[in-house]
Amino acid sequence: MAKTGDQAGAVAELGKPCSGLPQHVALIMDGNGRWANARGLARTEGHRRGLETLRRVIRHSVSVGLDYVTIFSFSSENWRRPSSEVSFLMSLLKRFVQRDLSEIHKANVRIRVIGERNNLEESILKLLVEAEEVTSGNTGMTLVIAFNYGSRNEIVRATKSVAAKIASGALCADDVSEDTISQHLDTAGIPDPDLIIRTSGELRLSNFLLWQAAYTEFYFTDCSWPEFDEAEYDKALSEFSHRERRFGAVEAKVR
């Protein structure tokens, strides 16, 4: 989706697309539990409020004209959390698919899921596959859901796939390139993120899109995910539009 005109450096008013927008925004939705603890609430309430934020963010992403949005919904390390919290998070996933899929589909949004699938409970996997299949023909924004996702695991799986092709003779080792690896990642066919936003003041990637983030811009905000609103989102998008992106070159390049 091309962004043209004289509007670089600002997010368009009233949800209209503007130039200078990133093509792909990735979101690390951090701080639900801390938000709840600070208010004397159960951590589950923080996750519930976080889901409300996610709904608003998806709608706003569509309204401003983003092409791809990736959400770090559940990491492969999150299984280490207390079983009661994990169960609640799974119930939120089910609620999201069952209640929000229809709206997402009507908005012409396509859903794509990345992450390890082999060890998922069948009912959870069925929900994720359903979301992909129902929206597979949509041509608007792509919502990438990183579920049971860990970037190192993704790279290992991609490397094993490449190694298996070399062993079978389908691929020559001398022909392996960065593109070869990229094509075997879960994100094959998806452009690398232009901007990663992380809430709650933490300054790290937490095993998220490590390969894909080689030249990504970052925006860190102290507000927790339940507090993240359209104004803070627009602030991140506006700041991105002022960044000079050189991709290793001397002069800035348009990507």
* pLDDT tens for each residue of 92-116: 888 888 889 999 999 999 999 999 9
How many CA atoms are closer than 13 Å to the CA of 236, on its beta-carbon side? 27
- The confidence score (pLDDT) of residue 6 equals 38
> What is the pTM (predicted TM-score) of this model?
0.87
- The confidence score (pLDDT) of residue 1 equals 41
Higher pLDDT, 119 or 169: 169
- The confidence score (pLDDT) of residue 85 equals 85
- The confidence score (pLDDT) of residue 88 equals 86
Q: What are phi and psi of 87, to 5 degrees?
A: -60, -40
Residue 11: pLDDT band (50, 70, 90) is very low
- The confidence score (pLDDT) of residue 106 equals 96
Strand partners, 142: 68, 110
Residue 247 token pair: 């991709």
Q: Are 55 and 69 in contact (CB under 8 A)?
A: no
**What does the alpha-carbon distance between residue 218 and residue 236 come to, in Å, rounded to a whole number?**
9
pLDDT at 75 over 60: yes
E strand intervals along 82-214:
110-114, 142-149, 195-198
Mean pLDDT of 49-68: 96
Strands 68-75 and 142-149, bridge-based pairing: parallel
Q: How far apart are the first and last CA of the chain?
A: 12
Residue 70 token pair: 């990736």
Is 67 labeled as catalytic in the residue annotation?
A: no
CA distances from 65 to 3, 14, 107, 208 (A): 9, 12, 12, 24
**What does the alpha-carbon distance between residue 90 and residue 88 come to, in Å, rounded to a whole number?**
5
Is 30 labeled as catalytic in the residue annotation?
A: yes
pLDDT at 215 over 60: yes
Q: Are 76 and 149 in contact (CB under 8 A)?
A: yes
Class of 20-150+192-241 per CATH? Answer: alpha beta
**6, 37, 78, 148: which one is catalytic?**
78
pLDDT at 243 over 80: yes
Q: Are 33 and 201 in contact (CB under 8 A)?
A: no
Number of other residues whose CB lies within 10 A of the CB of residue 44:
18
- The confidence score (pLDDT) of residue 8 equals 38
Name the residue ranges covered by the structural domains of the chain: 20-150+192-241
Mean pLDDT of 211-227: 97
Mean pLDDT of 130-143: 97
Residue 223: pLDDT band (50, 70, 90) is very high
- The confidence score (pLDDT) of residue 250 equals 58
**30, 67, 186, 192: which one is catalytic?**
30
Q: Which of 3-12, 191-200, 232-241 has the lowest mean pLDDT?
A: 3-12
Specify the DSSP class assigned to residue 193: P
pLDDT at 249 over 70: no
User: What rounded mean pLDDT belongs to the chain?
Assistant: 89
Q: Are 186 and 155 in contact (CB under 8 A)?
A: no
